[in-house]
């Protein structure tokens, strides 16, 4: 069979010239065989990690795709490109190939495929850190999709747009895009994976924008249940975010119970151990243990932007509280003593103390010449001004009322 020849052939280019690029088509069986051969070869390249060959297969298949129906061609391109986008190819190569497929879809006037590929391209732009490109494309694409009333793609694009704004630290715009995506999703059937993605992003935004980790935890829990039901690997990420929420809520004791439920028992490994280690360090209020956890599980904790951001905030809060507890009894205390007590370098302690003084979280000065922190007594707050302001405002209203009555006389 020609299919066996194509898959097993050591010289793919020769076979593709004679078979895939053949300008003539046989009966329906011939067309089906060619489609099957292309898919099998693509899956083989994906399994073997041959990303260049997979990319070339997509390009070499275009002459054949131009000879079959647009619906079949679109399905084949989506499948092959999906294999390539989930491969180990670098982000720049994925962006380049996706753009080439979009150009092909435009030339063939397959509009629905073009819009689908542009939606995927926005995701790729986000992964590659090309956020300005992602925003420009999402703005243009949303205008076309709303005219066509393609609400499913509208939801996906607005979700990607929310992720772009989050990456740019524009939380109000990220929340606005997410709200629009959820509103559009309410009017259509939302596939489980897309619904889980909406819940995941909702949890991330609530945690970042409002510091509402209780609500974020519930969203992450919903995402975990859906991802777990469809056996999506993102279930582990949702579970890590749930554990992060418990840590940020200063409730690390619940983590042991959470990890022993029927839903979470099967999730083990370094990712879970990393979160348990951070939770234990938080419970002990130990900065040394916290830093050790970050060093031991660096890949698991720092490669995720959400976890890295919140753990940095948690570390800064722990450091501030520990410093305040150490220096509270003293009016003058040596920085070297604080450094030894908190098990950090003198440079780090000085930097943090300077920041606390500038932020007015500590009333004092650093005498760097003698290496001493001098604290000033808190000035008593005069409450008379606060008490006087409402009286003045009330008197102003009385005067305005009398003035209005005088005008009527």
Q: Where does 329-409 sit in CATH, by number?
A: 1.10.10.10
Q: Using DSSP, state whether 344 is helix, strand or coil.
A: coil
How many CA within 13 A on the CB side of residue 303? 9
In this prediction, the residues of the chain whose per-residue pLDDT falls under 50 are 1-17, 23
Tokens at 256, concatenated = 């042991």
Question: Does residue 376 come out as left (phi exceeding 0), alpha (psi in the -120 to 50 range) or beta?
Answer: beta
C-alpha distance across the termini of the chain, in Å: 108
Q: Tell me, what's the pLDDT at 8?
A: 45
Q: Tell me, what's the pLDDT at 363?
A: 84
> Distance (Å, rounded) from C-alpha 99 to C-alpha 314?
41
Q: Tell me, what's the pLDDT at 381?
A: 65
> Distance (Å, rounded) from C-alpha 206 to C-alpha 212?
6
Question: Does residue 109 come out as left (phi exceeding 0), alpha (psi in the -120 to 50 range) or beta?
Answer: left
Q: Tell me, what's the pLDDT at 25?
A: 55
Beta-bridged to residue 333, according to DSSP, are 373
CA dist list (Å): 43 to 155, 184, 338 = 29, 35, 60
Nearest to 33 by CA among 2, 62, 58: 2
Domain ranges of the chain: 192-298, 329-409
Q: Does domain 192-298 have CATH number 1.10.760?
A: no
> Distance (Å, rounded) from C-alpha 68 to C-alpha 262?
49
> Distance (Å, rounded) from C-alpha 204 to C-alpha 214?
12
pLDDT tens digits, 108-158: 999 999 999 999 999 999 999 999 999 999 999 999 998 888 899 999 999
Q: Tell me, what's the pLDDT at 102?
A: 96
Q: Tell me, what's the pLDDT at 7?
A: 42
Q: Tell me, what's the pLDDT at 16?
A: 47
DSSP per residue, 158-219 = HHHHHHHHHHTT-HHHHHHHHHHHHHHHTTSPPPHHHHHHHHHHHHHHHHHHS--HHHHHHH
Q: Tell me, what's the pLDDT at 19?
A: 53
Size of the chain, expressed as the number of residues it contains: 409
pTM of the model: 0.80
Burial of 391 (0-12, 13-18, 19+ CB in 10 A): exposed
Tokens at 263, concatenated = 């839903």
> Distance (Å, rounded) from C-alpha 191 to C-alpha 115?
18
Task: State phi, psi for 11 to the nearest 5 degrees.
Answer: -115, 80
How many CA within 13 A on the CB side of residue 84? 32
b (16+ CB within 10 A) / e for 129-161:
ebbebbbebbeebbeebeeeebbbbbbbbbbbb
Beta-bridged to residue 332, according to DSSP, are 374
Nearest to 306 by CA among 179, 122, 174: 174
> Distance (Å, rounded) from C-alpha 46 to C-alpha 86?
9
Nearest to 17 by CA among 81, 63, 53, 65: 63
CA dist list (Å): 288 to 108, 302, 315, 328 = 61, 17, 11, 21
């Amino acid at each position: 069979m020609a299919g066996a020849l194509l898959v097993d052939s050591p010289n793919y280019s020769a076979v593709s010239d004679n078979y895939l690029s053949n300008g003539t088509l046989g009966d329906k069986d011939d067309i089906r065989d060619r489609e099957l051969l292309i898919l099998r070869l693509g899956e083989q390249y994906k399994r073997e990690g041959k990303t260049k060959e997979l990319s070339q297969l997509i390009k070499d298949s275009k002459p054949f795709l131009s000879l079959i129906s647009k619906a079949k061609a679109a399905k084949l391109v989506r499948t092959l490109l999906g294999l390539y986008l989930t491969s180990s190819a670098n982000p720049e190569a994925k962006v380049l190939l996706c753009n080439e497929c979009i150009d092909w879809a435009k030339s063939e006037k397959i509009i629905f495929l073009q819009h689908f590929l542009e939606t995927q391209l926005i995701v790729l732009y986000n992964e590659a850190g090309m956020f300005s490109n992602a925003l420009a494309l999402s703005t243009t694409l949303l205008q076309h999709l709303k005219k066509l009333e393609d609400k499913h793609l509208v939801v996906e694009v607005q979700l990607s747009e929310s992720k772009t704004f989050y990456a740019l630290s524009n939380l109000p715009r990220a929340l606005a895009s997410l709200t629009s995506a959820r509103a559009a999703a309410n009017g259509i059937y939302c596939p489980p994976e897309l619904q889980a993605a909406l819940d995941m992003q909702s949890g991330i935004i609530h945690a970042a924008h409002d510091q509402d980790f209780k609500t974020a935890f519930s969203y992450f829990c919903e995402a975990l249940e859906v991802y777990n039901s469809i056996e999506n690997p993102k279930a582990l990420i949702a579970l890590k975010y749930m554990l992060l929420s418990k840590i940020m809520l200063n409730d690390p004791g619940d983590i042991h119970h959470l990890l022993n439920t029927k839903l979470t028992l099967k999730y083990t490994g370094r990712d879970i151990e990393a979160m348990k280690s951070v939770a234990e360090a938080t419970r002990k209020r130990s900065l040394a243990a916290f830093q050790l956890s970050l060093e031991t599980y660096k890949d698991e904790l720092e490669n995720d932007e959400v976890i890295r951001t919140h753990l940095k905030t948690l570390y800064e809060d722990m450091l501030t509280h520990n410093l305040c507890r150490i220096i509270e009894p003293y009016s003058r205390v040596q920085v070297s003593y604080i450094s030894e007590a908190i098990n950090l370098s003198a440079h780090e302690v000085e930097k943090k103390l300077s920041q606390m003084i500038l932020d007015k979280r500590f009333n004092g000065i650093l005498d760097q010449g003698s290496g001493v922190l001098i604290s000033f007594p808190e000035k008593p707050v005069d409450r008379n001004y606060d008490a006087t302001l409402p009286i003045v405002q009330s008197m102003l209203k009385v005067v305005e009322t009398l003035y209005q009555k005088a005008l009527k006389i």
